[in-house]
Structure 1
Amino acid sequence: MITVVVADDQPIARHGLATMLGAAGDIEVVGLAADGREAVDLAARADPDVIVMDIRMPVLSGLAATAEILDGTTGPRPRVLILTTFDLDEHVYEALAAGASGFLLKDCSAEELVHAVRVVAAGEALLAPTVTRRLLADFVRARPPRALAAASARVAALTRRETEVLVLIARGLTNREIAERLVVAEETVKTHVSRLLGKLGVRDRAQAVVVAYDSGLAGHGR
């Protein structure tokens, strides 16, 4: 079972999300939070696999809550799936930098929500590549030159094959799709992914994509 905490300050949205997730046979909602502070507390108590996090909440924003949950925690950490209105939530870039693993538009269907939680829980790929490409492109344009230089140095440590895999991850491909593209076994791709995550010093594919964009390896529209 995938355990989930839902954090949204609007009661109808919060309970609606929980109902949609609870209808899936492999997902269990273990807590509901009405603000970011409650989300942080629930993350510590319930130890969920995924937190579905709205950005705009009282007491403590979803952005601040994400940073607090993921910063400095030892052991396994939950993956944070950000709820965003896309054009309106400019702080989504900061959430990505804080360690969020994916993004979900708030007008999504029940099927899209369930799929997103499964994808993020598995750490398999970023959700909605067409959305994240635009978000990441804007995110990188606002990054300081030092961050870009540091990312380039980290990418330089990868082998040619690992670099190819990173580019495909940044395009939103799953391990299976990458294996088909490169004509190799899926287990081989998993090995490359594990090694490149270690070399880049990141915890998951979402953060690897940030490095790819920071370095210019996966530029806007590529």
Structure 2
Amino acid sequence: MFSVDTELIKPVLVLEDDPVVQDRMYSILVQFGYVKEDITFVQTIKGAIEQYSILVAKLVLVDLGLPDGNGIDFISYIREDLQDSEIPIMVVSAWNSAEVILKALSAGATGYVLKERDDFELIFAIRSLLRGGVIIDPFIANQILKNVHAEDVVKPEAQSCQLETNLSARELEILNLVAVGNSSREISEQLNISKFTVDCHIKNIYHKLSVNSRTKAINMAKTIGLIS
């Protein structure tokens, strides 16, 4: 068991739709001394809103790319709708766009850590959170500083699209077609390219946006202003 030199904050609500990440977070929390009954996992924002009130959650870990929207909406729900300014909320996400990070922090996140970090780094972040600290992943802090220094040269929206995602013109074109509901076959017919080529472009889009589904790609693109 990992000692945090403080009383555990519980119950814990974890908003995360990936079963693999859920298992990882459970394993990490158990190392602090949490037991199964202390931790509730939900996969959607709707489910999180329902469980939050039932549990009277005291600690929240939030992913951003979710089946029914962006985790920032849940953070805003806690801070604005419920007017709860005390509960610690840490984002654990693969998204590293400076604009998205700033939106999450502005909405009221207490910290932001990237999923790519190893277990030790996540343990350290949660330990600091439990002790009342504000956690900002070093990479994220660097991204924010870059964003601040570049504000006089590049508009934030343009910077986010060009520096963080680097989508090509073709990828952006395909992303817009995906957003209006076109299948890969339909896109291939409209652009006169093979379905295989379309699927390759979509995989590249997923990689650049740090997502793993069309729904998440669309939500992410809307969040950072790539599409309307």
Name the TM tier (shorter chain).
Answer: 0.5 to 0.7
Q: How many residues align?
A: 144
Cα distance in 1 for residues equivalent to 2:74 and 2:56: 15
Cα distance in 1 for residues equivalent to 2:133 and 2:57: 18
Q: What is the CA RMSD across the aligned residues, in angstroms?
A: 2.9
Cα deviations across residues 109-129 of structure 1 (Å, max 9, x unaligned)?
Answer: 222222212222333233334
* CA deviation after TM superposition for structure 1 residue 105, in Å: 0.9
Of 11, 16, 38, 2:19 maps to 11
* CA deviation after TM superposition for structure 1 residue 90, in Å: 4.6
Given that residues 114 and 137 in structure 2 are in contact (C-alpha distance below 8 angstroms), is that contact kept between their aligned partners in structure 1? no
Cα distance in 2 for residues equivalent to 1:62 and 1:136: 23
Cα distance in 2 for residues equivalent to 1:78 and 1:66: 10
* 17-26 or 129-138, which deviates more: 129-138
* CA deviation after TM superposition for structure 1 residue 53, in Å: 0.6
- Structure 2 portions without partners, runs of 5+: 1-7, 157-228
Given that residues 5 and 48 in structure 1 are in contact (C-alpha distance below 8 angstroms), is that contact kept between their aligned partners in structure 2? yes
Task: Answer yes or no: is 1:97 the counterpart of 2:106.
Answer: yes
4+ runs of 1 displaced by more than 3 Å? Answer: 26-29, 74-77, 86-90, 139-143
Judged with a 3 Å threshold, the aligned counterparts in structure 2 of structure 1 residues 112 and 41 are, in CA distance, closer, same or farther, namely farther
Judged with a 3 Å threshold, the aligned counterparts in structure 2 of structure 1 residues 37 and 25 are, in CA distance, closer, same or farther, namely same
Where does residue 166 of structure 2 map in the other structure? none
Task: Answer yes or no: is 1:73 the counterpart of 2:73.
Answer: no
Of 122, 129, 151, 1:120 maps to 129
Equivalence map 1:180-195=2 (5 Å):
none
Given that residues 14 and 42 in structure 2 are in contact (C-alpha distance below 8 angstroms), is that contact kept between their aligned partners in structure 1? yes
- Structure 1 portions without partners, runs of 5+: 144-222
Judged with a 3 Å threshold, the aligned counterparts in structure 2 of structure 1 residues 35 and 135 are, in CA distance, closer, same or farther, namely farther
* CA deviation after TM superposition for structure 1 residue 131, in Å: 2.4
Letter in 2 for 1:104: V
* CA deviation after TM superposition for structure 1 residue 2, in Å: 2.2
Given that residues 14 and 60 in structure 2 are in contact (C-alpha distance below 8 angstroms), is that contact kept between their aligned partners in structure 1? yes
Max radius of gyration: which structure? 2
Where does residue 178 of structure 1 map in the other structure? none
* CA deviation after TM superposition for structure 1 residue 75, in Å: 5.3
Task: Answer yes or no: is 1:51 the counterpart of 2:81.
Answer: no
Given that residues 55 and 84 in structure 1 are in contact (C-alpha distance below 8 angstroms), is that contact kept between their aligned partners in structure 2? yes
Task: Answer yes or no: is 1:64 the counterpart of 2:41.
Answer: no
